[in-house]
Structure formats: structure tokens, C-alpha cells
Amino acid sequence: MGIKEWSVCICMEGNFESASLSPPAEQKLISVFFNRAYYMFSVETHRLLTIAVSRYCDARVFAINYRLAPETQFPGQLHDAVSAYMRLTVDLKIPPENIIFAGDSAGGGLVLATLLYLRDEGYPLPAGAILMSPWVDLTM
């Protein structure tokens, strides 16, 4: 089984740079939001994790490099996450039922915020989400 990984960089202007071709619409895809406390690390620092998730789940991984603090304040990260989801569902025509979100800590909180935004705005939701110790109370 080969490695099926995607990585996307979201620039300040919201432009996408993707190094991979579109998967078939029937392919499973996991969109990963990494724990970065909203201010450090990248998809490159978590490459071993994305490879393991891809292999274990037999799915492509779409890892998102969302903009970081302090240069970008919330809701900039949420805008990046929603833009990435629109890239998958609208531009690449991947059905939402083939997509699962996953995130840990700050990434888990971003997954939840993205799901709530999509629901509240009436967009189709992904098939599911995996939240690992999500950081959801930012008042602390």
C-alpha cells in the first residue's frame, strides 16, 4: 500500500498551492488539523503522523497549514479551515460523506469550530470528526 498524503499551504491571500492531484471522488479522505497551539509547527513537523494515519486508515490525508499567531488572530485560522474544506468539496468535488476531520488539542478545537461554522451556515458536513483532547476553552 502506497503513501497517500496531501499537503496544502494557505497563503495570507488565501491562495492554495497543492502538490498532489485530485483523488477519485469515491476515495476516503482525512482532513487533519494539527495541534500547534495556534502559533507553532507545520504539516512538515507532523509528517510522520500523517503518513501513519494515511496507512492505518487506507485514506488520503489533507494536512492544512493554517496561518499562525501572532501575525494572524482568530478567526483567521477558522477562515483557513473553511477555505480548505471548500477546496475539497467544491473545487476537487470530493463528496462530504467521504471526508473525516481529525485534530488534537488546538487542532481539535479548530475542527469543532469548523464543524459548527459549516452547520450554522448550512453547508454539508463531513462524514465525521475525530477530536483528541480538543482545546475548546480558550478563556483559560
Cα distance between the two ends of the chain: 43
Residue 119 lies in a domain: yes
Q: Structurally, how many domains does the chain consist of?
A: 1
Residue 74 lies in a domain: yes
Structural domain boundaries, residue 44: 5-20+27-132
Q: Is the pTM of this model over 0.85?
A: no
Query: Given the C-alpha cell 485560522, which residue does it identify?
Result: 77
Residue 61 lies in a domain: yes
Render pLDDT for 3-27 as a digit per residue (tens, 0 to 9): 444 444 333 333 334 434 444 556 7
Render pLDDT for 70-127 as a digit per residue (tens, 0 to 9): 888 889 999 999 999 999 999 999 999 999 999 888 889 999 999 999 999 999 999 9
CATH of the domain at 95: 3.40.50.1820
